[in-house]
Amino acid sequence: MHITFNGKEIDLVFGLRTLTEIDRELGFEIEGANLGEGLEMLIPKLKSGNIVALSKIIKASTSHHKKAPKTYEDLEEVLNDVAEDTDFKSFGEAIIEELGKRPMTRNLLPKENEEEESEKTALKTV
């Protein structure tokens, strides 16, 4: 999966560095101490198309690239492109799909997969 920024395609990478950054950025801060837990908030924020969360995810997952979007203006440009091409919820769903394909992030989705299986089972028994 990739984004386009300044005419260049930049891959979104969901490795340990990205996950650590997301955990910190989307986590909780109490009395100046960051408690993390942002990974637990990742999927709901992606599903809702939360623009602020999407900007933090884009920034974290492109930080490996020298020409990645870094400022609010850069991120706004990327998000405007996303809005023109698709909507934020669809973009979030595409990221969720990508996370499900990767060994390090697959475990973020088990509850979603279990719910889908439970729904399928319930429909078969009705």
DSSP sequence for 27-56: SEEETTEEEE-HHHHHHHHHHHT-HHHHHH
What's this model's pTM, rounded to 2 decimal places?
0.76
Number of domains in the chain: 1
- 28-61 pLDDT, tens digit per residue, is 666 666 565 667 778 888 999 999 999 999 999 9
Where in the sequence is the domain holding 36, given as residue range(s)? 2-125
